[in-house]
Amino acid sequence: MQTGNRSSALALALVVLIAPPAHATGGGIGPHEIVEAVRGYIQQIAQEPKPKPQAIQAAGPEGPSVDLSDLTQSERVERAVRHAVPATPNAETRLTVPNGQVRLGDFTIGSDQVINGHLLVLQGDANVYGRLLGNLVTLNGDVVVYPGGVVQGDILALNGQVLSRGGEIAGEASELTAPPPAPAGVHRGAISPAARVGLGLAGVFGVFLTALALGFGLVLFARPNLEIVSDTVTHSFGRAFMTGLVGQILVLPTFGMLVVGLILSVAGILLLPFAVAVYALLVLLGVVGGFLAVAHAIGETWTRRRMAKGAMLGSPNSYRYLGVGLAGLFALWFAWALFGWVPVAGALMRAAAVLVTWLLATVGFGAALLSRAGIREHFAGRLIPPEALT
């Protein structure tokens, strides 16, 4: 059944795409219909197969029940529906809605139909052509009110949308993204401190490995530029911080001036997407590259001080500098991952980690701007050219 739906949707999308535009033939299908057809086809592929439309029988006096008489508190209704409905509702599901009914799968109220009471639709869309004298709630489905359709009460779509195609909604229409129902025997609760520590350590370690890989790639392909930016951080720290701070303030105004300047000409409009992508890439490279240069400077300073004290650290190189510097920069984040579950200390440690990271990233960004990404050495403290030292 699902294969047939996908095939028909694909055929419809192809017909729409090859049909002549409306402005060319006087009829046909316009861009809006093309977008809607493609969107519907993608949704049919992405969504799970919907159950067969059928009625859900009422549960006994001791069975689950959901009251839909008041939808003003949408979160309360969502919790009630989530606890009463199993993870995968089917024909064997039993659920009671006082003064109402429950439907499984897509449900349509015909133009000549009048339904008294509330309506709950599970795992399907509710298409309203007639009249519903009550409230309407859908779980994992949309509500579509077509011309001539009337909903006298309120509408709540859980994991869906409320669409009015010319119909009348007397009450309030709201949408709520609800989590999927929990499987039987599984209770949702607060995450334990051990689980939070594990998740935090995994996240921080993943970011650390990513930064380390980017840094090693930068050393491999652009080590001279990285070293110049790193020296700029070491010898012009205050100047680099002020430059980075001003640069952060001027990022958006500069982008706006770039866009305005390009749209004033026909050639500029054509180059606008390319220019926007290049600008965003340059800003990202400046921030990430500058942060890695700060790590390189910290690692180099620490390594040289240890060697000055007589420590045997092997061959000092940029790879070692980056590894040591990044370990130092991520020390606060690892500490937060270990003790972030502590109520007050965790928040303070996170604030300190964010502040230190922003400060050093600002310094690195400013150093990258001052040295023109490692092309200029004026602020790197290299008063004597490297060639003169050989």
pLDDT of residue 125: 94
CB 151 within 8 A of CB 168: yes
Gyration radius of the chain's alpha carbons: 31
Backbone angles phi, psi at 149, to 5 degrees: -80, 145
Long-range contacts of 75-79 (CB under 8 A, 24+ apart): 75/176, 77/137, 77/156, 78/156, 78/158, 78/176, 78/178
- Kindly indicate the confidence band of residue 44, based on its pLDDT and cuts at 50, 70 and 90: low
- Kindly indicate the confidence band of residue 223, based on its pLDDT and cuts at 50, 70 and 90: very high
- Kindly indicate the confidence band of residue 110, based on its pLDDT and cuts at 50, 70 and 90: very high
Give the SS3 label for residue 137.
Answer: strand
Q: Is 277 exposed, middle or buried (0-12, 13-18, 19+ CB in 10 A)?
A: exposed
Instruction: Count CB atoms within 10 A of the CB of residue 103.
Output: 20
pLDDT of residue 28: 46
Q: Is 337 exposed, middle or buried (0-12, 13-18, 19+ CB in 10 A)?
A: buried
**If we measure between CA atoms, which residue out of 129, 137, 135 comes closest to residue 108?**
129
Give the Cα separation of 302 and 389 in Å (integer).
Answer: 23
pLDDT of residue 58: 83
Q: Residue 341: is its pLDDT beyond 80?
A: yes
Mean pLDDT of 89-95: 86
pLDDT of residue 52: 85
DSSP lists the bridge partners of residue 103 as: 55, 121
pLDDT of residue 267: 84
pLDDT of residue 13: 46
pLDDT tens digits along 64-77: 889 999 998 888 89
Residue predicted with more confidence, 26 or 171: 171
Kindly give the interhelix angle for 343-370 and 318-329, rounded to the nearest 10 degrees: 140
pLDDT of residue 85: 86
pLDDT tens digits along 298-333: 999 998 888 888 877 777 888 999 999 999 999 999
DSSP lists the bridge partners of residue 116 as: 133
Q: Which residues have a Cβ under 8 Å from the Cβ of 5 and sit 6 or more positions away?
A: 44
Q: Is 339 exposed, middle or buried (0-12, 13-18, 19+ CB in 10 A)?
A: middle
Give the Cα separation of 95 and 81 in Å (integer).
Answer: 10
On average, the pLDDT of the chain sits at 83
Most confident of 4-18, 233-247, 299-313: 233-247
pLDDT of residue 25: 41
Q: Residue 184: is its pLDDT beyond 50?
A: no
pLDDT tens digits along 352-362: 999 999 999 99
